[in-house]
Structure 1
C-alpha cells in the first residue's frame, strides 16, 4: 500500500478555532486567576464612564488601543462606526446610546474611525456593492448617504488615498452630528455633563488623531483630549 502523500499546502480549517480555545484556556488559567477580585466586582454591575463607538474591523481592539480593563469601556461596533440619526426604526445603535447615557451615566462618547476603512472604500464605490453585498450596500446607502453626498459635492478634486482619508474623517464628523440629534445627548451636552470626541486611529503608525475644532482638522492626540464643540465646526482638509 502506498503511503498517503502530505499536502503541504493544505490548511486545517479548524486551526483558528483551536487557537481561540487555547486562548480561552490561557485566560482562565493565567489572567482570570490573577484578577478574580476584579471580575467578582464586575459581576455586581458595571460603571464605565466612556462610550467607545468604532468599526467592526478586526484590526481595532478598543481595550488594547486604550490600555483599559474590562468594565472601563462601553463599546458599540458596526461597519463604518456609523450612528444613524435619532428617529430611525430598529436602531440598535440608538438603543445602546440611550442605555449608555441614561442608565450608565456615561461622561464621554468617542467616535473612533480608522485608516484604510473598508466601509469607506465601499462608500466611494457604492454601486459596485449592489450584487455581491446587497446588505452592505443598503447599510451604507441608507446610513452613510450624508457623507457620500458631502464628498461628491465638495471634494471632486481629490481621489485615491487622499479621498479615502477625507471620507474617513468626514464620516467620523457626520456621526458626531448624528449623535447630537439624540434628545438624551442634547440634554447632557447643554448641561455640560457629556463630551463628544472624534478620533481616527492610524493602523500603520499606532497614532490617534483627534478633531481639534480650533484648527478645524484632525491632529495627533498626545495628551489632552479635544471635546467636539456644539455646533460642530467644518473640517479643513490638509
Structure 2
C-alpha cells in the first residue's frame, strides 16, 4: 500500500503537472476515439501499448478479454453495458479486442475441468470460450502445448470479434462505415502486436 500512496504523490507532482492542461480539458467530458477491450492481466497496460493519453481510450478489462454475445437481459452485465455506453453514448470510432501471450484464462480452459473447482464464477465465465477450446483440443495434439496456447489466444480474439457483430448497433455502425473493429494479439515478452487480417484469416505482425 505504501508504494501506491507514494505513487499518488509522484503522479501529482510529475505526470499531472506536465499534463495539467490536458486534465483541465477532461474535467467536464470525455471523447475517446477507441474502445479497448483487454484482459485483466496485470502485465497488460493498454495506454502504454498504444502510446495514448488519458481521454483517448475507453477501456474494458475482464478475464480473457471476452465479449459475451449480445442478448437483452435484466441481469447486471458489466461488459455488455460498457460496450453499449462506449458505442452509443460516447460514439467511439474503433473497437479493439486485445488478447495476449501467456493468458491465464485461455490456459485454464485447456486444463482439466477440476482445475477451476474453487473458482466457480471464473469457470462459468470461461464457458464462453469453450467453442475455441474444443477446436484447439481437436486440431492441436497434446504434445504441442505452445502451439495450443498460441492458437487458443488468437482463436479467442477472433471469437470475440464475431461476438461483437452480434450487437445490432455495432453491426449497423459498421455497415455505415462509422465504426471499425480489430483483433490484436500482444506478445508480452517481445512487445510485438499481431493484428488479425480478415481477408487472409491470420494474424500479421503490426510493424507500421
Q: Which category describes the TM-score, using the shorter chain as reference length?
A: over 0.9
- 1:185 and 2:170 correspond: yes
Larger radius of gyration between Structure 1 and Structure 2? 1
Could you say which residue in structure 2 is the equivalent of 1:232? none
Could you say which residue in structure 2 is the equivalent of 1:30? 14
Indicate if the aligned counterparts of 1:129 and 1:137 stay in contact, CA closer than 8 A. Answer: no
In the alignment of these two chains, the number of paired residues is 206
- 1:47 and 2:23 correspond: no
Distance 1:164 1:52 in 2: 22
Query: How many Å apart are 1:158 and its aligned residue?
Result: 6.5
The match for 1:205 among 158, 180, 190 is: 190
- 1:64 and 2:48 correspond: yes
Deviates more, 1:184-193 or 1:127-136: 127-136
Could you say which residue in structure 1 is the equivalent of 2:89? 103
Structure 1 stretches of 4+ with a deviation exceeding 6 A read: none
Distance 2:76 2:7 in 1: 35
**Deviation readout 1:42-92 (Å, 9 max, x if unpaired):** 011000110000000010000011111000000000000001000164321
Indicate if the aligned counterparts of 1:126 and 1:137 stay in contact, CA closer than 8 A. Answer: no
**Deviation readout 1:198-228 (Å, 9 max, x if unpaired):** 00000011000001123221111012xxxxx
Indicate if the aligned counterparts of 2:140 and 2:147 stay in contact, CA closer than 8 A. Answer: no
Could you say which residue in structure 2 is the equivalent of 1:161? 146
SS in 2 for 1:144: helix
Distance 2:28 2:144 in 1: 51
More helix by share: 2
- TM-score, reference length from structure 1: 0.82
Please list, as runs of the form range in 1=range in 2, the aligned pairs for 1:213-232 lying within 5 A after superposition.
Answer: 213-223=198-208
- 1:74 and 2:58 correspond: yes
Distance 1:35 1:139 in 2: 38
Query: How many Å apart are 1:184 and its aligned residue?
Result: 1.0
Bigger relative contact order (CA 8 A; separation at least 6): 2
Alignment CA distance shift 1:173-1:44 (3 Å)? same
Distance 1:194 1:79 in 2: 25
Distance 1:99 1:158 in 2: 44
SS in 1 for 2:14: helix
